[in-house]
Homo-oligomer: A and B are copies of this chain.
Amino acid sequence: MVVVMKASATTAEIGNVMQRAEALGAQTQPIYGQDHTVIALIGDLTRVRRETFDAMAGVLKTVRIQDPYKLASRATHPEGTVINVDGIRFGGEEVVVMAGPCSVESRAQIIETAMAVKEAGASVLRGGAFKPRTSPYSFQGLGEEGLKYLAEAREMTGLPVISEVMTIEAIDMVAEYVDILQIGARNMQNYGLLQAVGKAKRPVMLKRGISGEINELLMCAEYILSNGNMEVMLCERGIRTYETATRNTFDLNAIPVLKRSSHLPVVADPAHGTGDWELVPPMSLAAVAAGADALILEVHPDPESAMSDGDQSLKPERFAELMGGLRKVAEAVGRKVASPGEQESVPIDADGRRAVLA
């Protein structure tokens, strides 16, 4: 860490900063510039916090040198992590396409959609059973009933399933039905929930909050990793900016930045990223070109009747068309789209739960 003193800082103030740093276990090295004195803190900084120094008299600002995350960092883990979900590999050479409706609305709807997305080539099924909604008066999801339908769709298609979990209490139950736990954007900094999924035995897809900095997303992943769950994927899903032509600003730059900073697989969510189904195909192609390891897409047999996010959902035939384009772009960047044929059907018990937990 570097502490920059004000031009007006007194010798006593400089001395105080050095003393305080040393009392906290750090070594100090002052550098006397033309206007400003700068104090470098090196050695053991475990007890050093920036705030301490930002609050001291004579200090202009502090500058952090090291990344605040460790387990998520590529510096400490140069090889990319590959997460294997029932034979589907995230973070490897193949690009994984996850698809399905925003919300599970009925048994028929999820099964029809699962069949359609598998036929088009998706290898993971998505579907929300618990829905965070801006309005308390909106449809909040089918809950456990929706999870049962998802599990049934998995048994019929062999596609692993991803679904959101919103509360600590629901983790165990959701984990019994699904293969990947999704943490939604609104919960990116719900630290209790992060710690709890850090102890779950399921891979986690963590979505970037609507105003999450990339560094913060990595710190949130750190909450999960440091609780023991090393299977974390990071998902870019659009940030909030001044631009209103798109619902959010889908920040594709995050993809190469995350790949450079971290070893974790990176997923792109162009449906939420743009909020506009017409933009989903070009932005999906762009995400793969930018290096995304996976896509998560919204497909609905009848978007106009969807109980949520119909405006950003593709019809099955458009999705199938997009899959064709994705295969070409994946190849152009030296990858290929993962195929759904490789995994086996996962049996469920009479209650719809996975017969055997991983």
Contacts and interface: CB of A to CB of B under 8 A. Distances in A.
Interface of A: 2, 4, 7-8, 20, 29, 31-36, 38, 40, 42-43, 45, 49-52, 54-56, 63, 65-66, 68, 75, 132-138, 166-169, 186-187, 189-192, 195, 209-211, 213-216, 219, 222-223, 226-227, 239-246, 249-257, 260, 273-274, 277-279, 282-283, 285-291, 303-306, 308-311, 313, 325, 328-329, 331-333
B260 A308 contact: no
B192 A213 contact: no
Contacts of A291: 282
A79 to B, nearest CB: 14
Given A241-B249, A277-B55, A134 B304 contact: no
A50 to B, nearest CB: 8
Contacts of A306: 51-52, 55
Complex A-B, nearest 4 residue pairs according to Cβ-Cβ distance, in ascending order: A211-B211, A54-B311, A55-B310, A328-B332
A239 B251 CA distance: 11
17 contacts: A2-B2, A2-B63, A31-B42, A38-B65, A55-B313, A68-B134, A135-B219, A137-B226, A211-B211, A241-B251, A245-B253, A246-B253, A250-B252, A252-B283, A255-B282, A282-B289, A331-B332
Contact of A245 (B43, B215, B222): B215
A134 B2 contact: no
Contacts of A4: 65
